[in-house]
């Protein structure tokens, strides 16, 4: 039982490049979330998926797109990376009947 996994762990991009961050959970959770964490700003919600087949914008969605591929996987895409998207990205999941969000280990992204 791996919990929530994220790939890659680290990534360096040049401005304008695109990439997809992958997230998968093996806990049969219904809801999944993408956050970014910047120094001194806590975590900010980018997008979330309340259940398979649905996605919705969070606090800071501009510049990102998401896909809930199936119940297990929720990917985050940067179409044209900008230096302002340099951050640590966390994926999380939650089961309907429980309160707790379980976080993945994070992806550290640097955009030059």
| Gap between the Cα atoms of 94 and 60, Å rounded | 20
Query: Binding to other proteins by residue 103, rule CB under 8 A?
Result: yes
Phi, psi of 85 (to 5 degrees): -95, 5
Query: Binding to other proteins by residue 104, rule CB under 8 A?
Result: yes
Q: Which of 11, 17, 52, 58 binds other proteins (CB under 8 A)?
A: 58
Query: Binding to other proteins by residue 64, rule CB under 8 A?
Result: no
DSSP structural state of residue 8: -
| Gap between the Cα atoms of 48 and 45, Å rounded | 8
Site residues for other proteins per CB under 8 A? 31, 33, 40-45, 48, 50, 56, 58-59, 90, 94, 99-101, 103-106
């Amino acid at each position: 039982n791996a919990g929530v996994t994220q790939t890659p762990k680290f990534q360096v991009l040049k401005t304008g490049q695109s990439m997809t961050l992958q997230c998968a959970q093996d806990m049969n959770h219904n809801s999944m979330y993408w956050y970014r964490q910047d120094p001194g700003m806590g975590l900010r919600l980018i997008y979330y998926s309340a259940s398979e087949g649905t996605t919705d914008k969070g606090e800071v969605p501009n510049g990102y797109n998401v896909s809930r591929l199936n119940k297990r996987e929720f990917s985050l895409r940067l179409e044209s990376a900008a230096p302002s998207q340099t951050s640590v990205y966390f994926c999380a999941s939650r089961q309907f009947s429980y309160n707790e969000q379980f976080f993945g280990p994070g992806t550290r992204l640097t955009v030059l």
